[in-house]
Structure 1
Amino acid sequence: MKKPLLFILILLSNSVSFSAATTSALDIKTYKYAFSQKDNFKVSYADYPAGEDEFYELNYKNGAKLPHEIKTQHPHGLKISGNNHSDDLFMYAYKKITGLKPNTPYHVSFSLEFAANAPTGSSGVGGSPGDSVFVKIGAVNQEPQRFVDEDHYYKIALDKGNQLQDGKDMIFIGTVGVDTQDSIYRLKTLPYLPDEVMQKKLTQFRVTTDNQGQAWVIFGTDSGYEATSTFFYTNLSLTFKEVSECNIPASHRCPLQSIK
C-alpha cells in the first residue's frame, strides 16, 4: 500500500508546483506619464458638428505650462479646452501602450491627476461646470477613431457610454469639480475614495491586447455644461495585470489551482 500512496503524493506535489509556476508567470506592467511634450498624447473631440472646430474653440497642447497656482515637480501638462455648444462635447486623449503579451486579457487599474477650476456644487449654463462634466477612462485594443454620422456630427468609434453612464470601453470615474473659488485651479486625482459600486467596476475592467501586444489608453471629459472648460492633465498611472484563465468568467480551465 505504501507505493500507491507515495505515487499519489508525488502527483499532488507536482500539481501544486505547476499551479504556482503558472500563477507566478502572470505579466504585470506599470506605466507612468507626467504629460511632458515627449509623451505626445494624441487629442481629439467628438459629439459636435463637423466643421465647427473654431466655433467650439477647440484647442490643446502637449507640454503646456500649468497655471501659476499649480505647484508640482513638473510645471507642464496636457492642456485640453473646448466650448460645449452641443451640450455633449467629448474631449479626449489617448496613447498606444506597448510591451504587453499578444492577444492576452489584462485587468487595468488607473490613476488620473488633473488641474481644474470648476467648483463642486456650482451652477452654470445647461448644468454645473464642476458636477456636470464627467471624467471617463478606459483601454481598447485598436487606435481610437472618430467618424461623421448621418447627422453630420463627429462620433467616436468605441463604447464610452454617455456622460455619467459607463460604456464597454470606458468607465465613469468622477467629475471635474474641485474645492475652489474665483476660478483658481486645483489638482484632483480620480478615482478618489471609490464607493462599493465604483470599486466593483474598477476591479472588473479588462482589455485584451492585439496580436502585437498593444493596447490604447483613452481618457477624457463628457460634458453637460454648455460653456468653456479647460483642463490640464498632470499625471497618469496605469497598471496592466494579466488575467489568469481561471479568473475569466465562464472559463472552467485551471482546475489544478483548487488543489491545496
Structure 2
Amino acid sequence: MISKKIPFLVATTLVFCGAVLGLNLTKPALAADSNVHDVNIRPYKISEELTRKIEGASPSDVFSVIVSFNKTLNKEDYAKLEKEIGEFSRKYTYDTVMNGFAGDLSKEQILLLNKTSFVTRIELDQIVTNYDDIIVESTFSKDKNGWIGGFSDYPYKDKVHYKLRFSLKSLPKEINNKRKGLYLSGYNGSDDLFMFVKKKLDTNDRLKPNTKYSVTFDFDIATNARDEVGVGGSPGKSVFVKIGATNTEPTPVMDKTGFYLMNIDKGNQGVEGKDAFIIGDLQKTTIASEKYELKPFNNKQRPFVVETDKNGELWLFIGADSAFEGVTSIYYPRIKVTLKEVIDKPEKKQESFHIKEL
C-alpha cells in the first residue's frame, strides 16, 4: 500500500534500496574527473561523506569503505564482482545484521559499484579510537531517564482516532510486572505511523563539540506481535524497528496538509534513511500465543556514525515504523547505548588487491 507520505518524500529525496539520501548527494563533478560514465545515475548510493572524499581524487586513489548489499554473496559471487570492477581485498564480511563487506576500493571501483543493482550503500570506513567508551544505560526503574516519546506520519485532525500513548508503565505480568518500561501505543490509521523515543546527550555526558562518534544500541522490546495477516501488512514483520542518531532533534513537523512528518530522514517503513538504520521488526520468536515476550536488538556489526554539533550535542532515537493498519503496543524495559570517538582512515594510493577468503 502506498503511503500518504510518498509524494512529499519524492519531492525532496532520492529513494534507493536500503537508504534514502538528499538530492545534494548527486555530484556531477564526479563524472568530469573519472573514466566512469553516468556516475550520477539514480539511485545514488554513495554516502555524502564519502562523496566529499572522492570528489577531487583521481580514479586510482583508494579509500577504506563499507559496502552494503540487499543479498548475501558467496565465493562465486565475489569472484564475479571482481571481474566486473577489478581486484580488491575484503577485510571483513558481514552477513547477519547487514550483508556486505569492509575493504579498500579505488574511486573508480566505488563509482562502478554505484551502478551495481544489489549494492544498497557505500560508506566511508572509519577507525574507532582507544578513548574511553561513553555508555548511556537506562532501566526505567524510577523514571523515564530523559527519554521522550513521540509520534509522526499521521494527520492532526484525526489525532484522537490514533489513540497515541506514551508513559512509564509496569511491564506485562508474563514478563515481570514489578519492572517498568517506556510504553508506546498507537493505531496506525495512515498505514504509516512512526512511534519513537529520543534522548539528548551533550558535554555533560562527556561528548566533545564537532566530533564524530560510533554509536551502538543494545536494547529490548516487549512485543506481542505475531507474523500473521493484517490490514496493510503483518503486525510483526511489517513493523520495522529503526535506530538513529543526529545532531538535530528528531521532531514531528506539520506540513501544509496538516500531516505530521519527521524533520529528519528516517526513511519510510521498510526503507532506511540517512539518519536511521533498520535492525529488525516486532515479530515474536514464539508465535503460539498473544502474550508479550522480550526481543533483543543491537547494531553491533553496523555502528551508526554521527557528528556532534558545535555545542557537543546529539540526539539518540529508536522507533517502530509501521505498515500494519492496526494497534501496536510495545514496551522498552532497557536501553543501552555505547559511543566511541572515531577518526577517518587515511586515504591510500591504488595497489594490487586480491580477494581474500575469510
* TM-score, scaled to structure 2: 0.57
CA shift for structure 1 position 151? 2.5
Q: Hey, what's the Cα distance between the residues in 2 that align with 1:52 and 1:80?
A: 18
Q: Counterpart in 1 of 2:187?
A: 83
Q: Hey, what's the Cα distance between the residues in 2 that align with 1:217 and 1:148?
A: 22
Q: Counterpart in 2 of 1:8?
A: none
Q: Hey, what's the Cα distance between the residues in 1 that align with 2:129 and 2:336?
A: 24
Give the match's secondary structure for 1:55.
Answer: helix
CA shift for structure 1 position 23? 5.1
Distance change (3 Å), C-alpha of 1:183 and 1:209? same
Q: Hey, what's the Cα distance between the residues in 2 that align with 1:165 and 1:23?
A: 31
CA shift for structure 1 position 231? 0.1
- 1:45-86 per-residue CA deviation (whole Å, 9 max, x = no partner) reads 110001322100111102x111100138x6100000000010
For residue 226 of structure 1, what is the amino acid of its counterpart?
E
Q: Hey, what's the Cα distance between the residues in 1 that align with 2:334 and 2:236?
A: 20
Q: Hey, what's the Cα distance between the residues in 1 that align with 2:307 and 2:235?
A: 35
Q: Counterpart in 1 of 2:241?
A: 135
Q: Counterpart in 2 of 1:94?
A: 198
Task: Tell me whether 1:181 sits opposite 2:280 in the alignment.
Answer: no
- Give 1:58-69 correspondences, 5 Å limit: 58-62=164-168, 64-69=169-174
Q: Counterpart in 2 of 1:258?
A: none
Moved more, 27-36 or 110-119: 27-36
- Contact 2:187–2:328 (Cα < 8 Å) also in 1: yes
Distance change (3 Å), C-alpha of 1:233 and 1:141? same
- Give 1:1-260 correspondences, 5 Å limit: 24=130, 26-36=131-141, 37-62=143-168, 64-71=169-176, 75-98=179-202, 99=205, 100-119=207-226, 121-178=227-284, 179-191=286-298, 199=301, 202-203=302-303, 205-245=304-344, 247=345, 252=347
Distance change (3 Å), C-alpha of 1:81 and 1:208? same
CA shift for structure 1 position 225? 0.4
Give the match's secondary structure for 1:213.
Answer: coil
For residue 59 of structure 1, what is the amino acid of its counterpart?
R
Q: Counterpart in 1 of 2:105?
A: none
CA shift for structure 1 position 27? 4.8
Q: Which has the higher contact order (CA 8 A, sep 6+)?
A: 1
Distance change (3 Å), C-alpha of 1:53 and 1:244? same
For residue 210 of structure 1, what is the amino acid of its counterpart?
D
Please, what is the CA RMSD of the aligned residues?
A: 2.1
CA shift for structure 1 position 173? 0.5
- 1:193-230 per-residue CA deviation (whole Å, 9 max, x = no partner) reads x8xxxx4xx14x20101222221101110000000010
Structure number, greater radius of gyration: 1
- Contact 1:135–1:221 (Cα < 8 Å) also in 2: yes
Q: Hey, what's the Cα distance between the residues in 1 that align with 2:156 and 2:294?
A: 32
For residue 104 of structure 1, what is the amino acid of its counterpart?
T
Identity of aligned residues (%): 40
- Which consecutive aligned stretches of 4+ in structure 1 deviate over 2 angstroms post-superposition? none
Distance change (3 Å), C-alpha of 1:142 and 1:27? farther
CA shift for structure 1 position 40? 3.7
- Contact 1:133–1:222 (Cα < 8 Å) also in 2: yes
Count of aligned positions: 216
- Contact 2:157–2:258 (Cα < 8 Å) also in 1: no
- 1:68-123 per-residue CA deviation (whole Å, 9 max, x = no partner) reads 00138x6100000000010000011101113211110011111121100011x311
Moved more, 205-214 or 219-228: 205-214
Distance change (3 Å), C-alpha of 1:118 and 1:38? closer
Give the match's secondary structure for 1:164.
Answer: coil
Q: Hey, what's the Cα distance between the residues in 2 that align with 1:83 and 1:185?
A: 18
CA shift for structure 1 position 38? 4.3
Q: Hey, what's the Cα distance between the residues in 2 that align with 1:159 and 1:124?
A: 27
Q: Hey, what's the Cα distance between the residues in 2 that align with 1:225 and 1:23?
A: 41
Give the match's secondary structure for 1:53.
Answer: helix
